[in-house]
Structure 1
Amino acid sequence: MSWDAHTSEGIAYLERPGNGPVLVLLHGIGSNAASFTPLLAHLPATARVIAWNAPGYGGSEPLTQVWPQAQDYAAALEGFLDRVKVPQCALLGHSLGALIAASFVACRANRVTHLTLAAPAIGHGVAPGEVLSAKAQARIDDLERLGAVDFAKARAPRLVYRPEDNPETLALVQTAMSQVSMPGYGQAARMLASGRLLDDADRLWVPTDVIVGGKDQVTPPEGARRVHHRLHAKARGTYTELPGLGHALYQQDPARFAAALRQGAAAVV
């Protein structure tokens, strides 16, 4: 089965229909909904799978705030799920998507049966309006200076472990990253700068798993372990570190990533 493409009031998304549990997928800062395509074949055929293009990505309208915070994306997600008639789902956020997912669940626990934080971005903790963190500013500067295609060529290899040995994965990552644009990417970079995932982790009461690539250079395992340990005992699910995978773990080895999902959330996916 493959995706169906839709748009709902300014949010573009991909959906694989199913009559089983609903799994909603949130991509990272340099990606889009289509990045989850390699994973689709490894998910149960009965699951209804939805991957959104975050505001400002892949045909989705950007947010109105110049410097949005994670809760602004979470509010957009709530409206989107209402419109596509998903009262409750399993939620998976990758990288920047983990910041959005955690913010959503922290205030809307009744909407989510299970949360997965994959290669979670912790955020830089900068107050909105202050000087951007150096890493966030560099993202914006590099995109504006290089343009999206060369920006992707320069940055994509860091997301793949041993990119020289994994050209197909590198091509997937680079293709998605070459489609980022302003103002959406700049908004996301500012949200990353002000993100505080560890604070939201303290407020999660939904069963939550953490998955990270053992060779992730972007969001290293040390950060993922900190997130896992900050979870309340009642919310703390499995922590899985996948050896030999980098930041783009669900693209580099979707079968192994899906197996980690099943280990932590068999009743969901």
Structure 2
Amino acid sequence: MKIYKSETGARLLRERYLEALTSWPVPHDEVRVPTPEGETFVLVSGPESAPPLVLLHGSGSNSAEWAPRLPSLAERFRVYAVDIIGEPGLSAETRPPLDSDRYAHWLDAVLDHFGVARAAFLTSSFGGWLALDHAIRRPERVAALALRCPIGLGPMKKGFVVKAVFLALLGEKGRRKSVAGTLGEPAASPIVEHQLLVSANYRYRTGPFPVFDDAALQRLAMPVYAVVGAEDAMVDSATTKRRLEAAGARVDLVPGTGHSLPDSADLEFLTDASANGDFTA
């Protein structure tokens, strides 16, 4: 199945992304990396000698998600903002099965292209699932994990799906309310406006997303920090917090916050991990 609902919609979303790249906040290189899953688009910024940091955005998004944070990140790290395959960015549209090892091989190819043996990861939502999958399968390649509202640790809330379907039947007003509730953002927020545009033209991945078992989480030997929203409409944040803490992670549960999070302590965590030598291969 194609990931876009029409060629017109695909072109519209690409044009919006390319427009955002013209005002990228830091000097950068745009690199198209060959991988077993097709070409992958990566934005590279920051000092070449700085510790490597991979950014993985959420579902229905692309690396433009990280633009507001790039100035502070690129001061301290060599940043690789990766457009995830099968998402509305500039990478290949392929979607390997989530219960396979193909995403790990894909990330291996991206890291190998840049000669990066070991990197830290800063992620959002589905990007967190990908980073956890890679860290469990390739622990020697992951220096630290900073996860924002990761999925794959607690069950997706069933009530969210039922409510979303009901609100979608109410037309534009219902869809706006559904997106705003999902993100925990005001209905008039620019973030909600953008996601409405995406949902009108893009086919989201359908679950269920595999949940990592306790044995897999115990293989996370690297430093792990996560931040989750207490009012997340999609993800059971309490379970996420409990399971990650049992695996040795530090987790912040932000009250009154949904799936769209404010800035957190992840930059401080990554800086400390770098200073403590956790990036050393």
Q: Same fold (TM over 0.5)?
A: yes
Shorter-chain TM-score tier: 0.7 to 0.9
Q: Please give the alpha-carbon distance, in whole angstroms, between the structure 2 residues aligned to 1:155 and 1:222.
A: 22
Tell me the alpha carbon deviations over residues 58-115 of structure 1, each in whole angstroms, 9 at most, x when there is no partner: 12113364x4436322221111111122221111232111111111011211111111
Cα drift, residue 201 of structure 1: 1.6
For 1:49, the equivalent position in structure 2 comes to 79
| CA drift at 1:262 | 0.6
Alignment of 1:26 with 2:26, yes or no, is: no
**Alignment correspondent of 2:33:** 8
Partner of 2:3: none
- In the TM superposition, what is the alpha-carbon distance from 1:34 to its structure 2 partner? 0.9
**By how many angstroms is 1:242 displaced?**
2.9
In structure 2, the residue matched to 1:85 is 115
Deviation at residue 162 of structure 1 after TM alignment: 4.5
Conservation of the 8 A alpha-carbon contact between 1:55 and 1:73: no
| Residues 32, 197 of structure 1: alpha-carbon distance in 2 compared, 3 angstrom cutoff | farther
2:273 aligned residue: 267
Q: Which has the larger radius of gyration?
A: 2
The 3 A distance-change label for structure 1 pair 162 and 80 is: closer
> 1:16 is aligned with what amino acid?
S
Q: Secondary structure at the match of 2:75?
A: coil
Contact 1:118 1:211 in 2 (8 A): yes
* Counterpart secondary structure, 1:266: helix
**Once superposed, what is the RMSD of the aligned Cα atoms?**
3.7
The offset of 1:260, in angstroms, is 3.9
Which among 158, 163, 178 is matched to residue 197 of structure 2?
178
Where does the alignment leave 5 or more consecutive residues of structure 1 unmatched? 126-132
Rounded to whole Å, the distance in 1 between the matches of 2:160 and 2:69 is 28
Amino acid at match of 1:99: W
Distance 1:93 1:223, change over 3 A: farther
Question: Could you tell me how far 1:210 is from its partner in structure 2?
Answer: 1.5
**CA distance 1:13–1:150, change in 2 (3 Å):** farther
* Counterpart position of 2:6: none
Contact 2:148 2:227 in 1 (8 A): yes
Amino acid aligned to 1:242 = V
2:257 corresponding residue in structure 1: 245
**Contact 1:158/1:218 (8 A) holds in 2:** no
- Per-residue displacement from partner, 1:105-164 (whole Å, max 9, x unpaired)? 112111111112221112688xxxxxxx978998xx99xx99xx9997464313433515
The answer to whether the 8 Å contact 1:14/1:34 transfers is no
Distance across 2 between alignment mates of 1:96 and 1:205: 21
TM-score of the superposition, structure 2-length normalised? Answer: 0.70
Residue in structure 2 matched with residue 195 of structure 1 by the alignment: 210
Structure 2 contact 60–202 (Cα < 8 Å) conserved = no
Whether 2:205 is the aligned partner of 1:205: answer no
Q: Distance in 2 between matches of 1:30 and 1:68?
A: 16
Q: Give the Cα–Cα distance (whole angstroms) in 2 for the partners of residues 6 and 136 of structure 1.
A: 37
Higher relative contact order (CA 8 A, sep 6+): 1
Q: 1:107 to 1:68 in 2, by over 3 A?
A: closer
**CA distance change for structure 1 residues 210 and 92 in 2, over 3 Å: closer, same or farther?**
same
Normalized against structure 1, the TM-score is what?
A: 0.73
